[in-house]
């Protein structure tokens, strides 16, 4: 089939294209020529980067399989479609013309190449051809990512529109508006293709060929030759295949059965479309047109509009983007007619739809879960993507075949969130679901199994067939929901070695049965490869994200305290591992053998205990250290610095009182807050006053220390102007007990704002500030934390003086990395001293301009401190966020002067560490401060073989001083399985943790490596991981299939989010400081934070009743309904997005005003309204805030408001303004990479 398809495909494309081309071109040519021109520019620019990739693929492709080429051709058309996506955006139009022109050229060129390729292809098996198809898709995706794509996409869109009525289907595209449009188109195409492939692989193929060929040829050539990047990018769109599913719903209208056929018909339909353009075309045309037309072609534009009108979901997006389209609407009527069929679907209002959908979704999901149950669903627990496009006439259709529940379920999942059209789809699915599940069973059968559902969906043809249906690709939301459904009910017991814990997004209870709770340690893999070779082959990082002092939920018991008496904790003689459940007692209990190094150690007499018949100590369950994964030892004086029991720690507050700080209101706020905050210093026993002493310093160009001795009537200020050589001007009275000196302290805090109210000093110092704190702690001989509230780049003459080095021109160059490195070595040296003293620095920044976070953060980062940044701080709007951060930072439980050591069993060892700490040697992680939010990520590497029997053990021991001055040792033990089969590895890994690790790794790499290289490395490694799976674990299937391991099916989408993050791919408006800030922030995030940071949580606000949250929707603009209100949370930001057509009732409930225009976009808190909805919403917001270590300021984003750009930035499945690929594009790209690796 494939073969046939391929060949046919090529031809079909060519044909279809012509069909498309003619109509569309004509129009295009007429209207868009100019616009394209501009686009070319960019595209070319991008191309440089892209080309290589494109080329490489090509090279490989040709050599490998001819089929690929054809596929590529096919893809190219798709790409074109995707290219149109861009058109959706305002600029696109312009580009389109050019693109078109290119296309034309490309077509011609392509024409030949394809020819050649086909030639080559033949040798290749059909599957290859399919793969080729896919590959082409992916390839195209790359380019797209880079940006050149747009034009291509446009082209494709046009093409699609031209070729297939599917074009019209893109109406969905309308819905998607800018980005989506491009994708949608493709997706449509894909969809179309995909279904066919599944249902009737051959037919579709044939169909596809017939139609696609023309486009493919033209498109393909283009990509390869000139616009590779573009083409590739376009291809990604194909990935949008998921959309197909949506379109399908529409198709349902058309004969569902026919759907599959429809694909085949697709071709026909396509033809029809062309026709439709004239005749039946209306519906399809409408879609096709919409996209292309929306921008480029006014005529088409109308259709979209019509769609918009007709389909709430689609309409909303289009509306946003397609402002211009409306005019075109006139045309719509006919299109509208098209929509009407959908209409029925759409009719269900968004809400309804959602409601409806939700159920279906859930329905669908459940089955999946069931399927997944174990890994059961899929033997490998894999998701298989079928580039059905190949099969079917559709060129790109990717089929995400989640062998397990995955594939279909997921697509559907997203749908719920989706707009109207989708809903219908879902509904269909709902009906179809039943059928859908079966496909899962089919798993790899992918094409066949899937097709059926798709077939049903096929009606979706409405959407452009060229696209991959976003709903067909793995959905994070679905995965999260599934996990939640499956795992939140039962407590997670840690006793089973090698069992992956529930996802971080799932609420669950933990029972410690000998391994550390996932709240303390999460591993990337719970089945480690036995050998280094395996590990290397799989490229799966072996790492653990450790949060040693994590706060546990109230229903879980904090680690028990163990006291082994004066001798201190019992340890292995050789490796010094602490007593733990892995120690094997032998010789009747007189000795124990270390589980880590196998050394045998005598049991001290006072610790002796008899063994029972199983060889366990009789007191095993009486002793936490023998039965639990996490516990604490009381450390003896041997574990203390200078062999002296430590003093309780101290907190020193450093308040910048320069002009900016005073003016912004920061000084006032801090002083006011400290008055009450000091009553909440950390303590272990709530009954007792905190042992933490406090001190105060203000500073600008000089430092002002305060003597707040209790015996004084008034505080005394001591100014140290000699900042070049910092010293502590006073001893007695600087660090005081809050209760003793309360009066003096309050007097001081009252007077500070007054004293500096009229200051004219604008310069500040920074180095001396930390030096001063360090000296203070040294003098008091204690550990502690410095809270520095700082406002500007320290340019005053002093050690650590900095200069403004922000240079936007360096961004993107090889010199960029220097900007992430500190300006001078001063702060690095200083931080060493700080660590030696146990002086942790928390930095609160209030910059109005460049402040060089990269340098200022050196000390906080090296000392286990935190950095908080409040750019353009304004008392009114940022006060709450700052104060909440401050409160939490002051109160949070933490340890001081900590040393962490990770011991592992023979065979692996900890080789690399990420986080906020300092290391003076290769094994000891030194943390001046370690709070409950900080994680240390440890990477392991093999230095020998592991055995499957013993597994791999790790013990993380943290020696620290508690806030009451007690020296303790916290021990976390973790055992994971070892496997000799790669499949086991892939079955027991955690994508969230892997992504967390990758991001930390990448964020550190940019210090020394050009950012682009870092991104490429990430993509590479990810591709290798997946390729390795495909090669070694997946059951044989066509190369055109994208097969993802079940556990890693979200790897691409998450990785894409990492790649698109501000740090790795900055937009023009992202400052260097922001990037440096995020960089250090991510380095010590736990998995849950990094997860939401990279893939924000987007919740539709509908029917907030009951205790549960509404189901999240995927982060794509397509998912937003103009009539809805959404909340988006990233862990750092909190947005409330209000659709322009939001219901009055909704608005009244939330804002107290029924009119959209009266909503104050500057509000940071919702009004306190007395209605259940408002209450629940505020509860939700509060709960979000309480879950995160940093307070999130609420930002109200009104649709089409300026601030919406910021909001859109977090819709990470969409193409980003900075050039980041959309999910679909990236998936295609990834697929291409994988195929390349496989071939």
Partner 1 sequence: MATYQEFIQQNEDRDGVRFSWNLWPSSRLEATRLVVPVSCLFTPLKERPDLPPVQYEPVLCSRANCKAVLNPLCQVDFRAKIWACNFCFQRNPFPPSYAGISDVNQPAELMPQFSTIEYIVQRGPPTPLIFLYVVDTCLEEEDLQALRESLQMSLSLLPPNALVGLITFGRMVQVHELSCEGIAKSYVFRGTKELSAKQIQEMLGLMKPAASGPQGRPVAPQDPSATCRFLQPVHKVDMNLTDLLGELQRDPWPVPQGKRPLRSTGIAMSIAVGLLEGTYPNTGARVMLFTGGPPTQGPGMVVGDELKTPIRSWHDITKDNARHLKKATKYYEALASRAAVNGHSIDIYACALDQTGLLEMKCLSNLTGGHISMGDSFNTSLFKQTFQRVFSKDYNGDFRMAFGGTLEVKTSRELKVSGAIGPCVSLNAKGPCVSENELGVGGTTQWKICGLSPSTTLALYFEVVNQHNAPIPQGGRGAIQFVTQYQHSNTQKRIRVTTIARNWADAQSQIQHIESSFDQEASAVIMARLGVFRAESEDGPDVLRWLDRQLIRLFMFHLRRSPFLQVFNNSPDECSYYRHHFVRQDLTQSLIMIQPILYSYSFHGPPEPVLLDSGSILPDRILLMDTFFQLVIYHGETIAQWRKAGYQEQPEYENFKHLLVAPLDDAQEILQNRFPMPRYIDTEHGGSQARFLLSKVNPSQTHNNLYAWGQETGAPILTDDVSLQVFMDHLKKLAVSSAA
In the complex, the residues that contact partner 1 under the rule CB under 8 A are: 702, 704-706, 712-722, 725, 727, 729-733, 747-748, 751, 754-755
Whose Cβ is closer to partner 1: residue 705's or residue 1135's? 705
* Residue 617 Cβ vs partner 1, minimum distance, rounded to whole Å: 50
Q: Please compute, for residue 167, the number of CA atoms within 13 A of its CA located in the half-sphere on the CB side.
A: 53
Whose Cβ is closer to partner 1: residue 659's or residue 1226's? 659
Calpha distance 596→989 (Å, rounded): 23
* Residue 702 Cβ vs partner 1, minimum distance, rounded to whole Å: 7
* Residue 714 Cβ vs partner 1, minimum distance, rounded to whole Å: 6
Q: 195 with 388: CB under 8 angstroms?
A: yes
* Residue 760 Cβ vs partner 1, minimum distance, rounded to whole Å: 11
Q: Please compute, for residue 857, the number of CA atoms within 13 A of its CA located in the half-sphere on the CB side.
A: 26
**3-state helix, strand and coil shares in percent for the chain, rounded to the nearest 5:** 50, 15, 35
Calpha distance 856→344 (Å, rounded): 59
Calpha distance 422→409 (Å, rounded): 14
Which among 607, 608, 516, 593 has a CA at the least distance from the CA of 562? 607
* Residue 620 Cβ vs partner 1, minimum distance, rounded to whole Å: 51
* Residue 754 Cβ vs partner 1, minimum distance, rounded to whole Å: 8
Reduced to 3 states (helix: H, G, I; strand: E, B; else coil), residue 385 is strand
The alpha helices in 573-681, defined as continuous H runs, are 624-627, 659-663, 666-677
Whose Cβ is closer to partner 1: residue 561's or residue 731's? 731
Calpha distance 559→579 (Å, rounded): 15
Calpha distance 1160→1176 (Å, rounded): 20
* Residue 726 Cβ vs partner 1, minimum distance, rounded to whole Å: 9
Whose Cβ is closer to partner 1: residue 428's or residue 741's? 741
Whose Cβ is closer to partner 1: residue 708's or residue 953's? 708
Whose Cβ is closer to partner 1: residue 622's or residue 754's? 754
Which among 679, 743, 676, 752 has a CA at the least distance from the CA of 714? 743
Reduced to 3 states (helix: H, G, I; strand: E, B; else coil), residue 885 is helix
Whose Cβ is closer to partner 1: residue 715's or residue 895's? 715
CA-based angle 179:180:184, to the nearest 5? 135
Which among 187, 192, 460, 478 has a CA at the least distance from the CA of 345? 460
* Residue 804 Cβ vs partner 1, minimum distance, rounded to whole Å: 24
* Residue 773 Cβ vs partner 1, minimum distance, rounded to whole Å: 16
915 to 864, 930, 1004, 1238: CA distances (angstroms): 8, 11, 10, 35
Whose Cβ is closer to partner 1: residue 680's or residue 727's? 727
438, with CB counted inside 10 A (0-12, 13-18, 19+), is middle
Backbone angle region of 897, left / alpha / beta, with phi > 0 → left and psi within -120 to 50 → alpha? left
Calpha distance 868→1097 (Å, rounded): 22
Output the six-digit token pair for 1111.
């189901």
Reduced to 3 states (helix: H, G, I; strand: E, B; else coil), residue 736 is strand
Q: 1016 with 364: CB under 8 angstroms?
A: no
Calpha distance 850→458 (Å, rounded): 54
Which among 196, 267, 672 has a CA at the least distance from the CA of 453? 196
150 to 43, 50, 92, 223: CA distances (angstroms): 8, 13, 7, 12
* Residue 750 Cβ vs partner 1, minimum distance, rounded to whole Å: 9
Whose Cβ is closer to partner 1: residue 379's or residue 700's? 700
What is the rounded (10 degree) CA torsion for 196, 202, 203, 208? 70
Whose Cβ is closer to partner 1: residue 744's or residue 1194's? 744
Output the six-digit token pair for 426.
């879902």
The alpha helices in 381-421, defined as continuous H runs, are 388-391, 406-412, 414-417
Output the six-digit token pair for 542.
């072996």
Whose Cβ is closer to partner 1: residue 711's or residue 1108's? 711
Calpha distance 996→991 (Å, rounded): 8
Whose Cβ is closer to partner 1: residue 552's or residue 779's? 779
Whose Cβ is closer to partner 1: residue 758's or residue 949's? 758
Reduced to 3 states (helix: H, G, I; strand: E, B; else coil), residue 795 is coil
Calpha distance 773→779 (Å, rounded): 10
Please list, in sequence order, all residues whose beta carbon lies within 8 angstroms of the beta carbon of residue 613, skipping any fewer than 6 positions away.
none
Whose Cβ is closer to partner 1: residue 763's or residue 807's? 763
Whose Cβ is closer to partner 1: residue 304's or residue 767's? 767
Q: 168 with 162: CB under 8 angstroms?
A: no
Whose Cβ is closer to partner 1: residue 761's or residue 880's? 761
Rg (CA), the chain: 31
Calpha distance 595→580 (Å, rounded): 9
Residue 287 carries which DSSP code? H
* Residue 704 Cβ vs partner 1, minimum distance, rounded to whole Å: 8
Whose Cβ is closer to partner 1: residue 150's or residue 733's? 733
* Residue 724 Cβ vs partner 1, minimum distance, rounded to whole Å: 9
Q: Please compute, for residue 612, the number of CA atoms within 13 A of its CA located in the half-sphere on the CB side.
A: 7
Whose Cβ is closer to partner 1: residue 751's or residue 813's? 751
Please list, in sequence order, all residues whose beta carbon lies within 8 angstroms of the beta carbon of residue 116, skipping any fewer than 6 positions away.
62, 69
């Amino acid at each position: 089939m494939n073969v046939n398809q391929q060949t046919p495909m090529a031809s079909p494309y060519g044909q279809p294209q012509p069909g498309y081309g003619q109509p569309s071109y004509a129009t295009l040519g007429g209207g868009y020529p100019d616009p394209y021109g501009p686009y070319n520019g960019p595209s070319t620019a991008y191309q440089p980067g892209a080309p290589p990739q494109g080329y490489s693929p090509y090279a490989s492709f040709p050599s490998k399989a001819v089929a690929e080429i054809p596929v590529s051709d096919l893809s190219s058309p798709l790409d074109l479609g995707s290219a149109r996506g861009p058109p959706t955006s305002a600029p696109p139009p312009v580009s389109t013309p050019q693109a078109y022109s290119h296309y034309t050229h490309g077509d011609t060129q392509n024409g030949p190449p394809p020819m050649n390729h086909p030639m080559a292809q033949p040798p290749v098996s059909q599957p290859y051809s399919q793969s080729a198809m896919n590959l082409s898709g992916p390839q195209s995706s790359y380019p797209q990512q880079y940006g050149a794509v747009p034009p291509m996409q446009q082209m494709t869109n046009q093409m699609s529109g031209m070729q297939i009525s599917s074009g019209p289907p893109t109406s969905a595209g309308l819905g998607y508006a800018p980005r989506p449009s491009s994708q949608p188109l493709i997706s449509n195409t894909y969809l179309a293709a995909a279904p066919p492939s599944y249902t009737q692989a051959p037919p579709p193929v044939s169909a596809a060929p017939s139609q696609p060929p023309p486009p493919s040829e033209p498109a393909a050539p283009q990509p390869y030759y000139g616009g590779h990047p573009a083409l590739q990018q376009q291809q990604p769109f194909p990935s949008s295949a998921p959309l197909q599913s949506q379109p399908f719903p529409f198709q349902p209208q058309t004969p569902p059965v026919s759907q599959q056929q429809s694909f085949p018909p697709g071709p026909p339909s396509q033809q029809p479309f062309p026709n439709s353009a004239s005749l039946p075309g209306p519906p399809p045309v409408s879609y096709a047109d919409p996209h292309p037309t929306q921008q480029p072609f006014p005529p088409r534009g109308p259709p979209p509009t019509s769609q918009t009108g007709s389909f709430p979901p689609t309409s909303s997006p289009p509306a946003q983007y397609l402002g211009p389209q409306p005019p075109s609407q006139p045309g719509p009527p006919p299109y509208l007619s098209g929509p009407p069929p959908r209409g029925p679907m759409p009719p269900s209002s968004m809400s309804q739809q959602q409601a409806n959908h939700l159920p279906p979704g859930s329905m669908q999901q459940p089955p999946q879960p069931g399927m997944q149950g174990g890994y059961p669903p899929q033997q490998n627990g894999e998701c298989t993507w079928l580039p059905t496009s190949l099969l079917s006439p559709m060129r790109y259709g990717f089929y995400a075949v989640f062998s397990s529940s995955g594939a279909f379920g997921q697509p559907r999942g997203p749908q719920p969130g989706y707009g109207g059209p989708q809903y219908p789809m879902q509904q269909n699915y709902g009906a179809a679901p039943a059928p859908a599940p079966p496909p899962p069973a089919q798993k790899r059968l992918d094409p066949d199994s899937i097709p059926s559902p798709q077939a049903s969906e096929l009606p979706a043809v409405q959407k452009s067939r060229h696209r991959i249906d976003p709903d067909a690709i793995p959905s994070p939301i679905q995965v999260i929901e599934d996990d939640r459904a499956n795992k939140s009910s039962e407590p997670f017991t840690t006793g089973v070695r090698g069992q992956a814990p529930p996802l971080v997004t799932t609420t669950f209870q933990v029972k410690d049965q000998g391994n550390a709770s996932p709240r303390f340690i999460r591993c990337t893999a719970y089945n480690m490869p036995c050998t280094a070779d395996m590990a290397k082959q799989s490229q799966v990082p072996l790492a653990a994200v450790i949060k040693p002092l994590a706060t546990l939920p109230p229903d879980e018991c904090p680690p028990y305290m163990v006291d082994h008496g004066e001798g201190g904790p019992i340890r292995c003689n050789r490796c010094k591992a602490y007593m733990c459940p892995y120690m094997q007692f032998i010789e009747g209990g007189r000795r124990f053998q270390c589980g880590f190094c196998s050394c045998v150690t005598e049991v001290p007499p006072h610790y002796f205990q008899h063994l029972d018949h199983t060889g366990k100590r009789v007191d095993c369950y009486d002793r936490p250290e023998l039965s639990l994964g996490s516990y604490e030892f009381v450390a003896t004086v041997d574990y203390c610095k200078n062999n002296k029991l430590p003093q309780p720690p101290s907190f020193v507050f450093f308040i910048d009182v320069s002009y900016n700080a005073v003016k912004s209101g920061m000084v006032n706020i801090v002083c006011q807050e400290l008055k009450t905050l000091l009553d909440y210093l950390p303590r272990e026993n709530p009954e007792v006053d905190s042992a933490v002493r406090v001190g105060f310093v203000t500073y600008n160009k000089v430092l002002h220390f305060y003597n707040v001795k209790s015996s004084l009537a008034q505080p005394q200020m001591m100014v140290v102007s000699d900042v070049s050589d910092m010293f502590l001007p006073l001893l007695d009275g600087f660090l005081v007990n809050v209760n003793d000196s309360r009066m003096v302290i309050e007097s001081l805090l009252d007077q500070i704002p007054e004293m500096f109210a009229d200051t004219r000093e604008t310069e500040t110092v920074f180095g001396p500030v930390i030096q001063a704190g360090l000296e203070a702690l040294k003098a008091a001989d204690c550990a502690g934390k410095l809270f520095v509230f700082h406002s500007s780049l320290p340019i005053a003459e002093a050690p650590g003086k900095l200069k403004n080095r922000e240079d936007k021109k360096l961004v993107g160059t090889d010199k960029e990395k220097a900007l992430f490195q500190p300006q001078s070595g001063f702060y690095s040296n200083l931080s060493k001293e700080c660590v030696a003293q146990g002086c942790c620095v928390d930095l609160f920044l209030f910059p109005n301009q460049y402040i060089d976070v990269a340098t200022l953060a050196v000390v906080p980062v090296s000392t286990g401190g935190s950095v908080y940044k409040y750019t353009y701080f304004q008392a009114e709007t940022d006060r709450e966020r700052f104060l909440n951060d401050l409160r939490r930072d002051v109160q949070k439980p933490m340890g001081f002067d900590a040393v962490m050591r990770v011991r592992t069993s023979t065979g692996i060892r900890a080789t690399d560490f990420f986080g906020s700490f300092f290391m003076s040697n290769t094994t000891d992680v030194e943390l001046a401060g370690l709070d409950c939010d900080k994680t240390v990520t440890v990477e392991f590497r093999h230095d020998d073989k592991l055995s499957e029997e013993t597994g791999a053990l790790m013990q993380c021991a943290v020696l620290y001083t508690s806030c009451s001055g007690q020296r303790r040792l916290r021990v976390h033990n973790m055992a994971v399985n070892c496997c000799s089969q790669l499949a086991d590895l892939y079955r027991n890994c955690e994508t969230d943790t892997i992504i967390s690790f990758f991001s930390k790794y990448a964020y550190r790499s940019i210090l020394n490596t050009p950012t682009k290289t870092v991104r490429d490395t990430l993509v590479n490694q990810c591709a290798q991981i997946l390729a390795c799976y495909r090669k070694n674990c997946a059951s044989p299937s066509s190369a055109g299939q994208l097969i993802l391991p079940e556990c890693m099916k979200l790897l691409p989408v998450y990785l894409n989010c990492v790649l698109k993050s501000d740090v790795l791919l900055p937009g023009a408006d992202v400052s260097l400081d922001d990037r440096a800030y995020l960089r250090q922030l991510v380095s010590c995030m736990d998995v849950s934070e990094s997860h939401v940071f990279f893939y924000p949580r987007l919740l539709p606000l509908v029917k907030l009743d009951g205790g549960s949250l509404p189901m999240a929707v995927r982060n794509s603009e397509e998912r937003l309904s103009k009539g809805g209100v959404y909340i988006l949370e990233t862990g750092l930001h909190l947005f409330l997005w209000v659709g322009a057509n939001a219901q009055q009732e909704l608005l009244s409930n939330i804002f107290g005003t029924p009119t959209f225009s009266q909503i104050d976009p500057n509000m940071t808190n919702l009004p306190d309204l007395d209605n259940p909805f408002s209450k629940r919403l505020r509860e939700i917001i509060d709960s979000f805030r309480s879950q995160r270590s940093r307070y999130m300021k609420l930002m109200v984003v009104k649709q089409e408001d300026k601030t919406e750009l910021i909001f859109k930035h977090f819709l990470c499945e969409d193409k980003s303004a900075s050039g980041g690929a959309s999910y679909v594009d990236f998936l295609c790209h990834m697929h291409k990479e994988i195929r390349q690796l496989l071939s």
